[in-house]
Amino acid sequence: MSMAMKKKHKYKALSGGEATAVAMKQINPDVVAAYPITPQTPIIETFAQFVADGKVDTELIDVESEHSALSAVVGASAAGARAMTATASQGLALMAEIVYIASGSRLPIVMAIANRALSAPINIHCDHTDSMFLRDAGWIQIYSENAQEAYDNMLIALRVAENKNVLTPAMVMQDGFITSHSVQNVIILDDKAVKKFIGKYNPSYPLLDIKKPVSIGPLDLFDYFFEHKYQQAEALENSKKIIKQVDKEFYSLTGRKYNFIEKYRTNDADHIIVALSSTAGTAKMAIDELRKKGKKVGLLKIRVVRPFPNEEISKALANAKGVAVLDRSTSYGNYSPIFTEVRSALYNLDKKPSLYNYIYGIGGRNIGIDDIEKVFLNLIKGSISDKINYIGLRK
């Protein structure tokens, strides 16, 4: 890393929630509306302290529900403000109606999510059910392995969402408690560097620009609704190019390199695990241990789930003998979400690896290095059911 880069950042011991709040402070959005829900709470608690201390100019709106939170953010964004929010689990479920309105209105909102299981029964710990059920709501979805990525992804997501060729809201995920409440060393950029990176916000169609009047949320029946949904699909497709561009700029600024996927020791790997978020860190440790024993194993971490990186995934897995896809969510009556997406990505390969579906960590159940080593050893032996497999389930 160059001396210029070193001068632009400093280390801080922060939880993932605090790191997200610091990114929001540096962005200095015009409006943030939120309602407290575990394990998102440290994000807004920390940001609220920044507001109280006068460190941001943000209008912080305390509302009576998450539905109201995203509604207020939609209104602010439509008016031409840079607007953000954060939530988790039932809060995101309560927002669902407005989630579709935000994307259908092409509002570049950024929402931080601390992933948590959906009720019932009531559970406050991590799985990915909350964000997975809205993966087709027209939002960009980026998943973070650790506190550093939670911080970085907020800055990157904002740049992508606000791009004139995208204008699509973005969710930035981190694992509830595992990342949101765990303290790690995080490299924080200089405020001026962040301000330059994100740039000044120039809204495309602000509702309050009386010289260029527009309608927001009009009745849209069969004569144009189809075309507007097509335009959303095109925006997500356009975002692939913009994500690559912004990731490249971020690398030039920080030396931290991101892509749709991360390949860890996969170049010569015969057997590969696919995973998201914090589990990728555990998998890397298991892989290092197995590599010492001569096992050719690797990890494919998916960072961006929407738009889904089909081409990148198919290339990364094309030469593997066996692949286990680890999902921290399920789809009742079918295979789990990421497994079905990966299997679709591999469909056109002439030679496909054997592909296996694993579900783990539902409701926050722990997954350790030993668990992942067992998956790899089963992959190597070929002793895995073609049906859904479970890690850590009591039967």
Classify residue 289 as exposed, middle or buried by CB count within 10 Å of its CB (0-12, 13-18, 19+).
middle
d(CA 41, CA 67) in angstroms, rounded, equals: 16
pLDDT > 80? residue 305: yes
Say if CB 276 and CB 313 are below 8 A apart.
no
CATH number, domain 261-390: 3.40.50.920
Antiparallel, parallel or unpaired: β 110-115 and 83-87: parallel
The pLDDT score that the predictor gives to residue 216 is: 87
Q: Which helix (H) or strand (E) holds 21?
A: helix 16-27
A 10 A CB-CB count for 366 gives: 12
d(CA 180, CA 111) in angstroms, rounded, equals: 14
What six digits make up the tokens of 266? 């996969």
The identity of residue 368, as a single letter, is G
pLDDT digits (tens, 9 = 90+) for 52-106: 999 999 999 999 999 999 999 999 999 999 999 999 999 999 999 999 999 999 9
Of the pLDDT bands very low, low, confident and very high (cuts 50, 70, 90), residue 383 is: confident
Question: Which whole number is the average pLDDT over 32-60?
Answer: 98
Reduce the DSSP state of residue 62 to 3 states and report it. Answer: strand
Bridge partners, residue 274, by sequence: 300, 325
pLDDT digits (tens, 9 = 90+) for 344-371: 999 999 999 999 999 999 999 999 999 9
- The structure's pTM equals 0.97
Domain boundaries of the chain, sorted by first residue? 7-254, 261-390
pLDDT > 90? residue 380: yes
The pLDDT score that the predictor gives to residue 3 is: 47
The pLDDT score that the predictor gives to residue 189 is: 97
In the Cβ-directed half-sphere of 238, how many Cα atoms lie within 13 Å? 16
pLDDT digits (tens, 9 = 90+) for 205-255: 999 999 999 988 889 999 999 999 999 999 999 999 999 999 999 999 999
Helix/strand/coil percent split, the chain, to 5 = 40, 20, 40
The pLDDT score that the predictor gives to residue 395 is: 83
Reduce the DSSP state of residue 112 to 3 states and report it. Answer: strand
Are 7-254 and 261-390 the same fold in CATH?
yes
The identity of residue 89, as a single letter, is S
Q: Which of 297, 283, 270 is nearest to 371 (CA)?
A: 283
The pair phi, psi for residue 217, each rounded to 5°, is 70, 40
User: What is the dihedral sign for C-alpha 242, 244, 247, 249?
Assistant: negative
Query: What is each CA distance from 381 to 271, 342, 375, in whole angstroms?
Result: 11, 22, 10
Q: Which of 246, 284, 244, 243 is nearest to 266 (CA)?
A: 284
Q: What DSSP state is assigned to residue 68?
A: H
Of the pLDDT bands very low, low, confident and very high (cuts 50, 70, 90), residue 7 is: low
d(CA 317, CA 337) in angstroms, rounded, equals: 18
CATH number belonging to the domain at 7-254, selected among 3.30.1510.10, 3.30.1950.10, 3.40.50.970, 1.10.287.130: 3.40.50.970
Of the pLDDT bands very low, low, confident and very high (cuts 50, 70, 90), residue 8 is: low
pLDDT > 80? residue 1: no
